[in-house]
Amino acid sequence: MSQFLRPALSALDPYVPGEQPQDKRYIKLNTNENPYPPAPGVMDAITREAVSQLKLYSDPTIAPLKQAIADCYAIKPENVFVTNGSDEALGFAFLAYADGSHPVTIPDISYGFYKVFAQLFQVPPKVIPLREDFSLPVEKFCSAGSMVVFANPNAPTAIALPLSEVERIVAFNPEHVVLVDEAYVDFGGESALSLIDRYPNLLVVRTFSKSRSLAGARIGYAMGNPALIDDLERVRNSFHPYNINRLSMLAGVEAMKDTAYFEDCCQRIMKTRQETAKALIALGFTLTESSTNFLFAAPPGISGKEYYEQLKERGVLVRYFGTERLSPYVRITIGTDEEMAVLLSKTREILKEANP
Amino acid sequence: MSQFLRPALSALDPYVPGEQPQDKRYIKLNTNENPYPPAPGVMDAITREAVSQLKLYSDPTIAPLKQAIADCYAIKPENVFVTNGSDEALGFAFLAYADGSHPVTIPDISYGFYKVFAQLFQVPPKVIPLREDFSLPVEKFCSAGSMVVFANPNAPTAIALPLSEVERIVAFNPEHVVLVDEAYVDFGGESALSLIDRYPNLLVVRTFSKSRSLAGARIGYAMGNPALIDDLERVRNSFHPYNINRLSMLAGVEAMKDTAYFEDCCQRIMKTRQETAKALIALGFTLTESSTNFLFAAPPGISGKEYYEQLKERGVLVRYFGTERLSPYVRITIGTDEEMAVLLSKTREILKEANP
């Protein structure tokens, strides 16, 4: 840290991403990536000719990708905002709607970045604890009196909120933007997208990183009323109008067009999730009901930390969060059936050693 | 604009990027892109296999690209910060060092985004007018009393400041960060990079968009003392740690490694610039001395606006800035010799019609 850094930022507690070892030795079940490759059309679209055209700027209106997203969800391009990963969409929404005198209401346990954005932009957070069973206390979000941000399904708890409950939160906060982060919705959640025409305060944020197998292409998007999208475009055009690079634009269009491939991948992941959950429960694990591409799981007889460390030693990476309420748990991404078989076999070894 | 947008942003005046027509009908000399393709290694690196790996997140430490940049300039990776285009580096620097009570000193005529960032982050700008001949009044920047941001060479004026003058500005502002935006330095400017070890307040910002032929890959970088880089990493890790996508990472490494190709492209552009400038002067144009990949040129007998419009009608796009001091001028990107021949031929037609 230098002497020049603004005092407000010196206490900043940046987000810590999951480990990304570059040596490829691990079975990576720690960052909720999709185990299946992008849709075949993605590989076909990124030709040598397309790469040589990198000399030219990308389309700052992001028109082809907005159109592909709009077509997929039967909405209009004016309902769509596109960003360099969904973190950027979240960041721009904070910039648009929150500041020192416009606070934000968030759950205590959720995607860690909400608190970080609040710190970065000096937004006072109103933090509402999840219930004992990690469910969202909906009534407390209904009288937020500020912008509301929450994930549905939630991470790392994996729990989904029914659409009727999401709608209650949106309907009871007509004076404030309600941002629903649906990064994981394609694995079994109910989307709030059908509500955007009725609620001018609803912003639905999505990502290509999970269900579209494009974590490395960095594409996020938000959907909402055209006036909200216009707000976000003002911020984007005041930050960097060329935020989407040419190759990600091509990749995103193809990934969005191939609905059959997308649905097949999601189905496979949900099937693997069900089987893995069943096996873990049989081993004595405590699990929440997952509507995501990961399991939130507490091993029997050992701490979350010990389980994480023992797995890592055996070549399997999962995500462990050290905070108090989460310490019995780890978050396990759903990989291929083969990867989950290794996880289960290593888990049996670990439990046997721990409870001989 | 919605009813929810923060009042501070409702007066925001976003940056207007140069026209990016998607129909490819124009000779595009309006956004300072490189007319030559990326280094051959870039096309070789982005294989079908690399594209299929987009399912995985990119390396959030950006290690390979930092190393390639460090190797190229004989500095250390700790001196290097990498962003999604240099706009993001500028934005993060504003976030790190400027706010409502920490103003920023900028020239009145320069890259338009400096003013936009000041607006977006509610930073009071101290705007210092360029001299009548568009040169930078160095002495006024020596007692700035705030963070300083300027471009060298400057845009759209194309004029370079000697390194000794840049050093004066850096040396006379030891209490504040001095950010030198060197987007165009490879076309004939003197870089301040050699000073980063001596001045802990100096930040040099560069881009792959111009001299490295990768505008569409969106890669910018900043170089400076490790403490400054650490500040910027804190902001990046609080905004989006995966800001560089996998394919741009590969492209950037290859573009940085191929010094011979890079130097050849820059030489060709400088030669074409010299010939084009000579031809325009012969036609009666007023030009500044360009150290960039563009010319800042005022046509004889007609306004900058008229010249821009007439060129556009004839299929050649250049950039026109409507503000008062710039109204006689247009900014003309240096393309290939063939493209400049068309520009000159259309220009002769236009001048003939205007001054029959």
Tens of pLDDT, residue by residue over B289-339, are: 999 999 999 999 999 999 999 999 999 999 999 888 999 999 999 999 999
Mean of pLDDT values over B65-69: 98
pLDDT tens across B128-187, in order? 999 999 999 999 999 999 999 999 999 999 999 999 999 999 999 999 999 999 999 999
What was the pLDDT predicted at A22? 64
| Whether pLDDT at B350 is above 90 | yes
pLDDT tens across B78-107, in order? 999 999 999 999 999 999 999 999 999 999
Mean of pLDDT values over B11-23: 77
- Contacts of B286-290 with C-beta under 8 Å, sequence gap 24+, read B286/B328, B288/B134, B288/B157, B288/B158, B288/B159, B289/B158, B289/B159, B289/B160, B290/B153, B290/B158, B290/B159, B290/B187, B290/B188
| Residue of chain A minimizing CA distance to B208 | A55
Mean of pLDDT values over B208-223: 98
Cβ of B1 within 8 Å of Cβ of A245? The answer is no
Which residue would you say has higher pLDDT here, B57 or B23? B57
Cβ of B51 within 8 Å of Cβ of A237? The answer is no
| Contact list, A102 vs chain B (CB under 8 Å) | 6
- B26, B46, B54: best to mutate for the A interface, most A CBs within 10 A: B54
Cβ of B60 within 8 Å of Cβ of A119? The answer is no
Binned at pLDDT 50, 70 and 90, residue B60 comes out as very high
B55 → closest Cβ in A33, A57, A201: A33
What was the pLDDT predicted at A24? 60
Binned at pLDDT 50, 70 and 90, residue B25 comes out as confident
pTM of the model: 0.96
Binned at pLDDT 50, 70 and 90, residue B15 comes out as confident
What was the pLDDT predicted at B251? 98
What was the pLDDT predicted at B17? 78
| Residue of chain A minimizing CA distance to B252 | A54
| Whether pLDDT at B220 is above 70 | yes
ipTM above 0.90, yes or no: yes
| Whether pLDDT at B24 is above 80 | no
pLDDT tens across B233-249, in order? 999 999 999 999 999 99
| Residue of chain A minimizing CA distance to B42 | A51
Cβ of B227 within 8 Å of Cβ of A87? The answer is no
Cβ of B6 within 8 Å of Cβ of A46? The answer is no
Residues of chain A under the 70 pLDDT cut: 22-24
B12 → closest Cβ in A5, A215, A238: A238
A242 → closest Cβ in B5, B14, B85: B85
Mean of pLDDT values over B256-274: 98
What was the pLDDT predicted at B16? 79
